[in-house]
């Protein structure tokens, strides 16, 4: 390890005081924020018993209490997944025993009760972690909040389902709900206010936030939600009835288990090595990286006593205050993956051009839901490409197509399905950064826009996901302060731009444009861009109306 880096870690991570929570006593670390503010970190706190052996494919069981002082200076393992960020040459990373969370709190927290922000990581319900390898707390802990991050079961271990009482599914979401309950019961000991919790997440984490806003298991456990680039209305966030059961039975057959009946399938798969259950995604792919997510949340059947999701999220309104939005080129990762794939961008463009009616229902995820997928394909192609062939010249239109289908239309749908007096703040993040993750994903220096997750760079210093070979520009530093102000204001006041705000004397004062709520009758959104932030309605209003009118 680089000596200076080691010294920095040593200096910024010093044993902290003990915290006595209802679960037990913990000893953590003192750390330093981006602006040199001291905070405390309590890492690797178990919130559920290890979901192994007989607890595999079951709802999580609370970890319970411990005696004595538990060391909280090391994070728990990431949940088992295919190796996206793994530096070793193996197909999987993580462990099945992974249900741990981390708490970060200002050192001055006691006895003041700060608002709590609970983060759910993304990764398509298949990958990711709440640990510091991706989500360091250094930015957010410059502000007066308590931050909680967590790990939850992924892939088949978290979302396989036979869509019956034997294997109802949604175990990863139930993990998250139990972590929320842990926060409600324990966070006061860390200086947090259990009655002022904001759940925020990105991508699959954003869809998860939406699910918790409508799930009976999570009612009363938090007060506000921020779905970022993902809601439960996104086509990748839920599957048509029967789809996940079919994939689960196929997985069982692939690992040598009976596909029927469900009880025998579950019993057999509980004894299969866990890594085999999460490394077979290629067996399910139909084209390129599609379906983008193999095992998704499902609507659970009647008779499940701890059901997380009982009804279609499209028919279940949200009622809590919310911030929801997406980035201007949220699907740049799709183009980046075409570019970095073994066949190259031109191959996939030609394939789409020649076989659009066959491939679009697979890639845009309406093949299993639309009554007339050929008609939908015709309408989509005409809207985005007109009479043009799908070539490199229309890649910006292709990018808009994927962004609208995967992210923007489901953010607008979230607003339309919100009921009650609580406000919804809709945004579009369009700030261009030289640290866009699309560079790393495409192995290219070609800029493709504000990619999926680029907004998180201003909430977390995501060193593993982007290439930071030099420091942040002045524009990016200003954007970081603007984003932190908006998010922590919402967590504190329920309004991202209130008249009152916290005063941080050790950093530049951040001026923000007034953000007004959106509604089904007023889809005006907050356009976030360095030096150009404003309330806006165009240019995506026409695109939003197109997807609203599709019968898919």
Sequence-distant (≥ 6) Cβ neighbours of residue 539 within 8 angstroms: none
Catalytic residue among 203, 229, 377, 437: 203
Whether 436 is catalytic is: no
Nearest to 59 by CA among 177, 181, 234, 226: 177
Strand, helix or coil at 257? Answer: coil
| Separation of CA 550 from chain center | 26
Q: Judge whether 452 counts as a catalytic residue.
A: yes
Query: What angle separates helix 262-269 from helix 243-254, to the nearest 10 degrees?
Result: 50
State how far the Cα of 248 lies from the Cα of 159, in Å rounded to an integer: 9
Give dist(CA 217, CA 66) in Å, integer.
Answer: 25
Instruction: State how beta strands 114-120 and 100-106 pair.
Output: unpaired
Q: How many residues appear in the chain?
A: 552
Residues 331, 438: Cα–Cα separation, whole Å: 10
Give the closest residue to 152 by CA, choosing from 181, 135, 174, 184. 174
Contact partners, residue 113, CB within 8 Å, separation at least 6: 188, 191, 192, 193, 196
Is there a contact between 439 and 454 (Cβ–Cβ < 8 Å)?
no
The Cα 22–Cα 471 span in angstroms is 42
81-82 vs 38-46, strand pairing mode: unpaired
**Helices 332-340 + 344-354 axis angle, to 10:** 110
Catalytic residue among 59, 452, 518, 527: 452
The two tokens of residue 232 are: 């439960």
How far apart are the C-alpha atoms of 334 and 364, rounded to whole Å?
A: 11
Question: Residue 83 burial (CB < 10 Å; 0-12/13-18/19+)?
Answer: middle
How far apart are the C-alpha atoms of 104 and 40, rounded to whole Å?
Answer: 6
The Cα 204–Cα 388 span in angstroms is 33
Positions marked catalytic: 203, 452
């Amino acid at each position: 390890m680089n000596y200076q880096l080691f010294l920095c870690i040593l200096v910024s991570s010093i044993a902290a005081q003990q915290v006595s929570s209802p679960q037990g006593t913990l000893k953590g670390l003192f750390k330093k924020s981006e602006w040199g503010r001291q905070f405390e970190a309590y890492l690797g706190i178990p919130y559920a018993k290890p979901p192994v052996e007989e607890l595999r494919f079951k709802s999580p069981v609370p970890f319970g209490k411990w005696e004595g002082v538990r060391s909280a200076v090391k994070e728990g393992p990431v949940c088992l997944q295919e190796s996206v960020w793994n530096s070793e040459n193996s197909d999987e990373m993580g462990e099945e025993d992974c249900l741990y969370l981390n708490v970060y709190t200002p050192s001055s927290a006691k006895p003041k009760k700060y608002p709590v922000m609970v983060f759910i990581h993304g990764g398509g319900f298949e990958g990711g972690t709440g640990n510091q390898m991706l989500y360091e707390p250094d930015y957010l802990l410059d502000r007066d909040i308590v931050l909680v991050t967590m790990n939850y079961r992924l892939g088949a271990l978290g979302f396989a389902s036979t869509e019956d009482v034997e294997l109802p599914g949604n175990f990863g979401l139930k993990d998250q709900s139990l972590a929320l309950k842990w926060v409600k019961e324990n966070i006061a000991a860390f200086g947090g206010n259990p009655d002022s919790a904001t759940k925020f997440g990105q991508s699959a984490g954003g869809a998860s936030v939406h699910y918790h806003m409508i799930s009976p298991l999570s009612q009363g456990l938090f007060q506000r939600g921020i779905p970022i680039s993902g809601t439960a209305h996104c086509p990748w966030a839920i599957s048509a009835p029967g789809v996940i059961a079919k994939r689960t039975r196929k997985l069982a057959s692939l690992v040598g288990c009976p596909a029927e009946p469900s009880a025998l399938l579950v019993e057999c798969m509980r004894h299969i090595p866990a890594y085999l259950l999460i490394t077979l995604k290629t067996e399910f792919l139909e084209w390129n990286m599609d379906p983008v997510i193999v095992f998704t949340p499902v609507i659970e059947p009647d008779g499940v006593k701890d059901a997380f999701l009982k009804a279609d999220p499209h028919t279940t309104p949200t009622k809590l205050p919310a911030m929801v939005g997406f980035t201007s080129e949220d699907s740049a990762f799709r183009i980046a993956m075409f570019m970095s794939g073994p066949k190259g961008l031109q191959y996939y463009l030609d394939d789409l051009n020649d076989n659009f009616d066959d491939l679009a229902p697979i890639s845009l995820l309406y093949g299993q839901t639309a009554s007339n997928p050929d008609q939908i394909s015709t309408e989509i192609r005409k809207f985005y490409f007109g009479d043009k062939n799908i070539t490199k010249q229309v890649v910006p239109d292709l990018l808009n197509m994927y962004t609208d289908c995967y992210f923007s239309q489901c953010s607008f749908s979230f607003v339309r399905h919100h009921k009650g007096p609580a406000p919804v703040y809709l945004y579009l993040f369009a700030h261009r950064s030289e640290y866009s993750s699309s560079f790393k994903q495409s192995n290219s220096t070609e800029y493709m826009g504000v990619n999926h997750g680029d907004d998180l760079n201003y909430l977390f210093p995501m060193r593993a996901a982007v290439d930071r070979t030099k420091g942040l520009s002045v524009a990016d530093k200003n954007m970081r302060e603007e984003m932190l102000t908006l998010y922590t204001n919402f967590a504190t006041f329920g309004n991202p731009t209130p008249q009152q705000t916290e005063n941080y004397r050790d950093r530049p004062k951040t001026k923000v444009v007034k953000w007004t709520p959106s509604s089904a009758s007023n889809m005006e959104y907050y356009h976030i861009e360095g030096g150009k932030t404003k309330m806006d309605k165009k240019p995506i209003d026409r695109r939003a109306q197109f997807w609203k009118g599709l019968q898919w």
